[in-house]
């Protein structure tokens, strides 16, 4: 059992199968192991929490556990090999993302021309990829996946509805900007 600071672990969302459904749980990843959230103790109960964690280690025959200190609390986290880490791109709030894309510091949405034809209120796919990489701190491939998810869930579309989302000089428009 370890006592760690919150900066030493990666907080994440975990998934566990419950019959036909999948249940999402708060979790942490530490040294490539996944832990589910257990009991929380406030700072005054810190030593009580440590004692209870020791008891649980004995009860669970040495199952790995971690205590994490964060903002005046100490939380017991249990190792669980039955859970999986949820890809954060799957749980991404697209409504908030689109709001940021359209806000100051977001994408440059303007009239553009290609082959002597004008397209109103659009942005360039490669510029969106660059912005997503910087904003979400993700890889180029993941940024393209997010762009395609935006198309699949009808937030954006290719100006001629001829392209999937691509990292190139292709024009896309937000659905509510249609002419």
107-166 residue pLDDT tens: 999 998 888 888 898 999 999 999 999 999 889 999 999 999 999 999 999 999 888 999
**Domain tally for the chain?**
2
pLDDT single digits (tens) 60-85: 777 888 889 888 888 999 999 889 88
For the whole model, what pTM was predicted? Answer: 0.61
Q: Domain span at residue 168?
A: 94-177
Shared domain check, 104 and 124: yes
The overall longest dimension of the chain from CA atoms, in Å, is 75
Judge whether residue 179 has pLDDT over 60. Answer: no
Shared domain check, 163 and 105: yes
Select from 85, 115, 146 the last residue of a domain: 85
Shared domain check, 127 and 158: yes
**What are phi and psi for residue 25, nearest 5 degrees?**
-135, 150
Shared domain check, 76 and 14: yes
Select from 85, 102, 126 the last residue of a domain: 85
State the burial class of residue 4 (Cβ atoms within 10 Å of its Cβ: 0-12, 13-18, 19+): middle
pLDDT score of 65: 87
pLDDT single digits (tens) 21-52: 888 888 999 998 999 999 999 888 888 888 88
Shared domain check, 116 and 75: no
Shared domain check, 43 and 67: yes
178 confidence band (pLDDT: 50, 70, 90): low
**Which CATH number belongs to the domain containing residue 115 in this structure?**
1.10.10.10
87 or 159: which leads in pLDDT: 159
Select from 39, 61, 85 the last residue of a domain: 85
What is the C-alpha separation between 9 and 4, in angstroms, rounded?
8
Shared domain check, 39 and 78: yes
**Which CATH number belongs to the domain containing residue 37 in this structure?**
3.30.200
Shared domain check, 124 and 58: no
- The upper half-sphere exposure of residue 147, i.e. CA atoms within 13 Å in the direction of its Cβ, equals 31
Shared domain check, 173 and 133: yes
pLDDT score of 162: 85
């Amino acid at each position: 059992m370890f006592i760690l600071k919150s900066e030493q672990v990666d907080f994440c969302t975990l998934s566990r199968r419950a019959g036909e459904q999948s249940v999402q749980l708060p979790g942490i990843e530490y040294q490539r192991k996944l832990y589910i959230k257990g009991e929380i103790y406030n700072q005054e109960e810190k030593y009580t929490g440590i004692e209870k964690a020791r008891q649980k280690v004995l009860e669970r025959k040495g199952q790995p556990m971690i205590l994490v200190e964060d903002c005046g609390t100490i939380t017991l986290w249990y190792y669980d090999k039955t859970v999986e880490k949820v890809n954060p791109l799957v749980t991404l709030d697209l409504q908030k993302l689109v709001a940021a894309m359209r806000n100051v510091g977001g994408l440059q949405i303007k009239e553009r021309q290609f082959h002597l034809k004008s397209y109103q209120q659009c942005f360039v796919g490669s510029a969106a990829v660059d912005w997503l990489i910087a904003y979400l701190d993700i890889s180029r491939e993941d940024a393209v996946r997010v762009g395609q998810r935006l198309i699949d869930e009808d937030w954006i579309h290719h100006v001629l509805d001829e392209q999937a989302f691509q990292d190139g000089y292709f024009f896309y428009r937000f659905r509510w900007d249609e002419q």
